[in-house]
Structure 1
Amino acid sequence: MNPLGESIRVLMNRRALNGAQLAQEIGLSQTSVSRILTGHSKPKQVTLTRLMKRLCVGADEEQMLLRAFTGTAAPAREEPVDNDAQNAAEERERVERWLEARTQAIIFKQAVAHELGKRAIPYTQDVCKGIASVDFLIEAGGKHLVLECKFNVSRDFDKSLGIAKLLLDSFACETVLVVVPFSGTFADAARALAPAVRVVTVAEAIEYAASFRQENAGVQT
């Protein structure tokens, strides 16, 4: 069974398109489209985006195609797209968006480090332990506080909370702070994990870290 191919066929019928027409409109050869439809290959991200733009009308159809895409068998190789100017421009735009997001995350992390330094709060940055890693680890009186930075709160925030929960055990800490640039309803999902996992702004994280240091500075282990 080929869920992606079947979904594409359904949408092609709805849009009254044949394989040759679809191939021309999304920048693939007719053979490549045929291989995708039969499950012998899978589309690259840029091709999937074009398929959605051409075939999908509404969020329901987009979700149908996305679900089918994620269910594509892993062994299928990616079907190459034609090396034309449009493909090159779209690929460059995708890479630039990824670089911008990564740069923003790094700048945000540097800002958190700067604020910790201003308050003279000692920390260790980029700590790895087994398969786990944290952005900032603060120790006081034998206790640990973890700070995990999350700049892009609109993407995979639930996954960030899941990671924070795992870090509680990996780093034997009572609290993990997920540091975000601003408050919002996205933090509601963390309420069930409180007080072990807290979603806080930079200012709130610094105050929490300062209190943590002060409360545990004299604790002996």
Structure 2
Amino acid sequence: MSNFSEVVREFVQRRGLTGSQLAEDIGLSAVAVSRIVTGQSKPRQVTLSRLMKRLCTSKEEEQMLIAAYESKGVEDLPLAPIVSEAANAQAEEERVRRFMEVKAQSIAFKRSVARELDKLGIPYRQEVIEKLVVTDFLLELGERRIALECKYNLHRDLEKSVISARLIREQFHCDQVYIVVPFYDEEGDSLDCEEEIRILPLQDLAEAINLENNE
């Protein structure tokens, strides 16, 4: 086993990842990642960059990974394929299809939210960016500032959405941030949110905005 593969294994353990999770994060098949981790192949430069981004949390760790990659013995290893052999190509394609499906659903849901706002005749700005913080919709109702964050899949990283909402509220000086979801789910009630951050089903958006507009 090469020094490089040992360093990768150590960093994978530090980050608490499985091989399949790492494979999904860097865009390789699980088989290709396994060959890198076990020292049977070396990553291409583009894969090395993705490994650094996913596994390294400091400049010191980046230097360790680069030094191991350039160490003796690694240069003789075969390059890992960008896409695995035919047996794994179909699985790779399915993974990409699932990603595209989720992306399409997310875009469609944001358009549904925009249509609801258009029905209300409420002026809004979409995909507002300020100092690398972005919000899906920003509404200014008199002196009140409201941000809407669209969350199509309520069960995926909802806690991360709450943290994002806090950053948005702070950056944009919002009076209220709504995490808009397609439908009501009891899971949203279990989250520890402050009063200024609420989980809001799409069907309740009009009522909530009208109440905000009348305050």
- Could you say whether these structures have the same fold, taking a TM-score greater than 0.5 normalized by the shorter chain as the test? yes
SS at match of 1:178: strand
Q: Deviations over 1:137-189 (max 9, x none)?
A: 11022220001000011211111110001111101012100000112232134
Q: Deviations over 1:83-117 (max 9, x none)?
A: 42222211111111111000000000100111111
Q: Which residue of 2 aligns with 1:94?
A: 95
Report the TM-score, using the length of structure 1 for normalisation. Answer: 0.64
Q: Which residue of 2 aligns with 1:218?
A: none
Give the drift of 1:212: 1.1
Give the drift of 1:194: 2.8
| Alpha-carbon contact 2:125-2:137 (below 8 Å) kept | yes
1:39 and 1:85 map into 2 onto residues whose CA distance is 19
Bigger radius of gyration among the two: 1
| Alpha-carbon contact 1:158-1:189 (below 8 Å) kept | no
Q: Residues 99, 165 of structure 1: CA spacing in aligned structure 2 closer, same or farther, 3 A cutoff?
A: same
SS at match of 1:193: coil
Corresponding residue pairs, total? 168
Q: Which residue of 2 aligns with 1:4?
A: 9
| Alpha-carbon contact 1:2-1:38 (below 8 Å) kept | no
Give the drift of 1:120: 1.5
Q: Are 2:207 and 1:207 equivalent residues in the alignment?
A: yes
2:158 and 2:214 map into 1 onto residues whose CA distance is 30
Q: Deviations over 1:40-84 (max 9, x none)?
A: 857xxxxxxxxxxxxxxxxxxxxxxxxxx9689663779436742
| Alpha-carbon contact 2:151-2:180 (below 8 Å) kept | yes
Structure 1 gap ranges (5+): 9-25, 43-68, 216-221
The within-5 A match list for 1:10-89 is 33=35, 35-38=36-39, 75=65, 79-80=80-81, 83-89=84-90
1:202 and 1:176 map into 2 onto residues whose CA distance is 14
1:122 and 1:209 map into 2 onto residues whose CA distance is 12
1:37 and 1:88 map into 2 onto residues whose CA distance is 21
| Alpha-carbon contact 2:83-2:92 (below 8 Å) kept | no
Report the TM-score, using the length of structure 2 for normalisation. Answer: 0.66
1:165 and 1:27 map into 2 onto residues whose CA distance is 39
2:140 and 2:212 map into 1 onto residues whose CA distance is 9
Structure 2 gap ranges (5+): 1-5, 14-29, 44-53, 70-78
